Amino acid sequence: MVRQRVLSGVQPTGNYHLGNYLGAIRNWVAGQSQYDNFLFVADLHAITVPHDPKRLAADTYSLVGLYLACGLDLKDSTIFVQSHVSAHSELTWLLNCITPLNWLEDMIQFREKAIKQGENVNTGLLDYPVLMASDILLYKPDKVPVGEDQKQHLELTRDIANRFNHQFAHPKQPVLKLPEPLIIAEGARVMSLADGTRKMSKSDPSDLSRINLLDPPEQIEYKIKRCKTDPIRGLVFDDPERPECNNLLTLYMLLAGKTKTAVAAECQDMGWGQFKPLLTEVTIAALKPIQDKYQAVMDDQGYLESVLRSGRQKAEAIANDTLNQVKAALGYTVPL
């Protein structure tokens, strides 16, 4: 049986936290053997906002190290770096020329980022969704796992693919394949430690708002000690007046691998002073194997490079094939 292909990218911007792990990486790893997975470091997207060239390479390697540490298996997953496969940039140009400008100007994420950045908005930020569409369409994946914030980008990808096929392909022989969203399993919405109504985020200026996957035990302990709670005794899930309580119990449930019913019973009479050490303990224990594996992988640069070399080779073969089909459909001559 042919496995469905799934593709996703993550930007190398550091601060990978429990929200990323419990919300995305962990589910991905758990289901990886069902799919033919393609996972890349979106380092071309990383320069759409001001970036530090001194950090880009290190952050890229570190992200690959984390993927491997979190349990991505190379027999199910192809890991590569976006900038190593030049077809991503090339297809972006071709698709730019069929994408109406107002589609991009209307994208929610562009508008939000542009407002935040004021004057300092580059063309790449506007074009970000076309690069993302290219990332996806090159590999003809069946599914793309997307969180809420990326849904509109996937819809745009489908719109671009449709428009291309409509304008340049025979109706019975579409060149670009329309990807479907892979809905991420529920129960893994991790909120900020400083505000239980906002998602845990790598761009939150306060590092105390999140637990990073590479935080050492003392730091985890400190952050949990300092995190926002409420003055009520007896800890419960799903009280809309107590978002922090719900979030911390959820974290405990996920990290301890317990059921919701078990955690509800265990914590119903607890106060924070009793609960926080428990949460600290399971968090440290859940992250330890990831941190140990991360160290081992990062200490072996040659291995990391070999992973990326074979990832690139496999990705490039597929990407170039699609790129050539697109160029042929657009009427380009074949280089001699």
Interacting residues with ligand TRP (CB under 6 A): 7-11, 42, 45, 132, 135-136, 144, 150
> Does the annotation count 288 as an active-site position?
no
Q: Considering beta carbons, is residue 102 or 203 the nearer one to ligand TRP?
A: 203
> Does the annotation count 199 as an active-site position?
yes
Least gap, CB of 82 to ligand TRP (angstroms): 7
Count how many Cα atoms sit within 13 Å of the Cα of residue 330 in the half-sphere of its side chain: 19
DSSP state of 86: T
Identify the active-site residue in 113, 228, 293, 314: 113
Least gap, CB of 106 to ligand TRP (angstroms): 17
Q: Considering beta carbons, is residue 96 or 291 the nearer one to ligand TRP?
A: 96
Identify the active-site residue in 140, 199, 223, 276: 199
CB atoms within 10 A of CB 306: 12
Q: Considering beta carbons, is residue 136 or 191 the nearer one to ligand TRP?
A: 136
Nearest residue (beta carbon) to ligand TRP: 9
Coil, strand, or helix at residue 182?
Answer: strand
Give me the DSSP letters along 223-267. HHHHS---S-SS--SS-TT-HHHHHHHHHHHHHHT--HHHHHHHH
Identify the active-site residue in 177, 202, 228, 327: 202
Return d(Cα 170, Cα 160) in angstroms, integer.
16
> Does the annotation count 327 as an active-site position?
no
Least gap, CB of 146 to ligand TRP (angstroms): 6
Return d(Cα 160, Cα 153) in angstroms, integer.
10
CB atoms within 10 A of CB 18: 24
Q: Considering beta carbons, is residue 139 or 294 the nearer one to ligand TRP?
A: 139
- For 149-217, the three-class secondary structure string (H helix, E strand, C coil) is HHHHHHHHHHHHHHHHHHHHCECCECCCCCCEEECCCCCCCCECCCCCCCECCCCCCCHHHCCECCCCH
Least gap, CB of 11 to ligand TRP (angstroms): 5
Least gap, CB of 31 to ligand TRP (angstroms): 16
Q: Considering beta carbons, is residue 111 or 233 the nearer one to ligand TRP?
A: 111
Active site members? 113, 199, 202
